[in-house]
Amino acid sequence: MTAYRSGYCCILGRPNAGKSTLLNRFCGEKVAIVTDKPQTTRDMITAIKTTPAAQIIFLDTPGLHESPKELNKVMQAAAKEAAESADMLLVIFDPRDTSAREDLHLARQLAGSAKPVIAAINKIDLVEKVRLLPVMQLLADEGIAEIYPISAKTGEGVEELERGIAACLPEGPMLYPEDQLTDQNERFLASEIIREKLFQYTHKEIPYSSVVIVEEYKERSESLNAVRAVIYVERDSQRGIVVGQGGQMIKQIGQAAREELEQRFGKKFFLELNVKTRKDWTKDEKFLKEIGRQYKG
């Protein structure tokens, strides 16, 4: 009889490589927010996939990139923490990108030690198969033995990749209850859903200059939760865009977020959103630490 396996798999890759889409595909439902804009993920998202043969705890991380901005330093620190604590690495590549070798080196550097590494070449539904061969050869030359062409969007190759990940995990019992999907608390999930709608409805610099802080999350009854949240931006002009003419933009964002919250948790939500300006918050180390602490409990 084959022994049960369980452990942590850190997902690494460039911004917009499809990490969050793949995470949601593994789990069969939405765990991480997904938009068409790069650098959507800012924190380490944990998702749990339990099968009869293995329990895989996925750590979805901010995209691999280098930047002097304080916010980006915090994001890369989150990726490094995940890579160091994981049992193995899954590095996602976009075959249309030319930075595969650099991404692989950076992933190994973040991990800090020799760990099993699996490569997945994503978005194969968007390119001709012949374009995959140079990337696969490059990865093979770098010593990667297990390379999986996949499409996180359509699901092609994902089951094979999942089996490959499970085979790399150590033998051991389940680390989480069988029916648990994530270890993120409801306050964090609410802030992520609001932030996703902000990404969807605003453009240009707004998503990258904004952060959502849930100041209050209360269960008022078995059928109603109340959430009060603030969207911080860096400049007054950005606040005007998020609020919109006559408050229409923030109303649209709030309605879309409330509908998804109700669908996600199966109960009604009262959602209050405010927009405030906090000048240059992405460079404010103290404020960034406060944001991080808010979601630890």
Residue 297 in tokens:
């409990």
In sequence order, the 6+-apart residues with CB closer than 8 A to the CB of 68 are none
The Cα–Cα gap between 235 and 187 comes to 26
Question: Which pLDDT belongs to residue 285?
Answer: 79
The Cα–Cα gap between 183 and 153 comes to 24
Question: Which pLDDT belongs to residue 68?
Answer: 46
Residues comprising the chain, all counted: 297
Q: What is the topology classification, in CATH, of domain 186-294?
A: GMP Synthetase; Chain A, domain 3 (3.30.300)
The Cα–Cα gap between 160 and 156 comes to 9
Beta bridge partners of 271: 227
Name which CATH class applies to 5-168. alpha beta
The Cα–Cα gap between 240 and 277 comes to 10
Measured in degrees and rounded to the nearest 5, phi and psi for residue 47 equal -130, 150
Using the CB atoms, write b or e for 250-271: b if 16+ within 10 Å. Answer: beebbebbbebbeeeeeeebeb
Write down the pTM of the prediction.
0.69
Pairing label, strands 224-233, 210-221: antiparallel
Pick the closest to residue 12 from 81, 74, 68 (CA basis). 81
Question: Which pLDDT belongs to residue 78?
Answer: 66
Mean pLDDT by 10 residues, the chain (297 residues): 88 83 83 51 71 92 56 62 84 85 76 82 90 88 90 94 96 90 82 87 73 90 93 90 93 94 90 92 79 54
Residue 68 in tokens:
């002097």
Specify the DSSP element, H or E, that contains 212: strand 210-221
Instruction: Give the residue extent of every domain in the chain.
Output: 5-168, 186-294
Question: Which pLDDT belongs to residue 65?
Answer: 47
Beta bridge partners of 106: none
DSSP 3-60: PPEEEEEEEEESTTSSHHHHHHHHHTS--S---SSS----S-EEEEEE-SSEEEEEEE
3-state secondary structure at position 193: helix
The Cα–Cα gap between 120 and 153 comes to 13
Provide the residue type at 153 as one letter: K
Pick the closest to residue 271 from 205, 236, 225 (CA basis). 225
Provide the residue type at 178 as one letter: E
Pick the closest to residue 198 from 232, 225, 169 (CA basis). 232
Measured in degrees and rounded to the nearest 5, phi and psi for residue 165 equal -65, -50
